[in-house]
Amino acid sequence: MREITIPISDETIRSLKVGEPVLLTGVMVTGRDAAHKWMIDTFIKKTREPQDDDLESYEALKKLLDGGVIYHCGPVVSGLDTKDYKFVAAGPTTSIREEPYQADVMKHFNLKGVIGKGGMGPKTLTGCQEAPGVYFHAIGGAASYIAQSVKQVLGVYKLEFGVPEAFWVIEVKDFPAVVTMDAHGQSQHAVVDASSKKVLDELLAKPY
């Protein structure tokens, strides 16, 4: 089990291989559909004008994500009224929804790690090779367990997106994950997809 500290160097990223279990420690940022669309539309493709506190949020997030990790997570958060935030549940969201955006976000923000569940597609895999970066698979169905690795909520950006969709800045210690897409073009998810398709094709070919 390798212990990885965030921010992560290119050297460390290139040393990681598919199948390797890791424990992540440091500061990471959550972000799902609304977060990725906002980053793409406002600051990468620039198809919308920045509004209100967009620029302030962008500058803060740019520093946090440089060499950092984004976690596809819609957390359950307590303390919303008092702003004494605490993660009650922090399970991973299905990552493929961010496939149209992820490679561009990785490149723009110098992002080194993406955490989620279910893996991502060829565009993100190419992005991992170019960044370089890796995809970390988190444990689905273990939201309360993963929340125990969140030691502190340091802040939140774009809370107007809603609690699950906002950018939550969290400090984690020994966050458990497995490398399932690496910077060398290897994807465990592509292997599983191909194997599953082969089995399905064989089943469909059988006479009944």
Q: Which domain covers residue 152, as residue numbers?
A: 2-205
Give the separation between CA 116 and CA 99, rounded to whole angstroms.
Answer: 12
Give the separation between CA 118 and CA 135, rounded to whole angstroms.
Answer: 10
Q: Bridge-partner residues for 23, per DSSP?
A: 3, 176
Number of domains in the chain: 1
Specify the pLDDT at position 196. 43
- Average pLDDT along the chain: 92
Specify the pLDDT at position 208. 63
Q: Is the pLDDT of residue 190 over 80?
A: no
Question: DSSP characters for 133-192?
Answer: -EEEEP-TT-HHHHHTTEEEEEEEE-GGG-TTTSEEEEEEEEEEEEEEE-TTS-BHHHHH
**What's the half-sphere exposure (Cβ side, CA atoms, 13 Å) at 24?**
34
Q: Bridge-partner residues for 25, per DSSP?
A: 5
Q: Is the pLDDT of residue 202 over 60?
A: no
- Choosing from 36, 72, 137, 189, the catalytic residue is 36
Q: Is the pLDDT of residue 201 over 70?
A: no
Q: What CATH number did the domain enclosing 67 receive?
A: 3.20.130.10
Using an 8 Å Cβ cutoff, are 73 and 137 in contact? no
Specify the pLDDT at position 12. 98
| C-beta neighbour count of 84 within 10 angstroms | 9
Q: What is the pLDDT of residues 78-102, one digit of tens each?
A: 999 999 999 999 999 999 999 999 9
Q: Is the pLDDT of residue 192 over 50?
A: no
Active site residue 36: yes
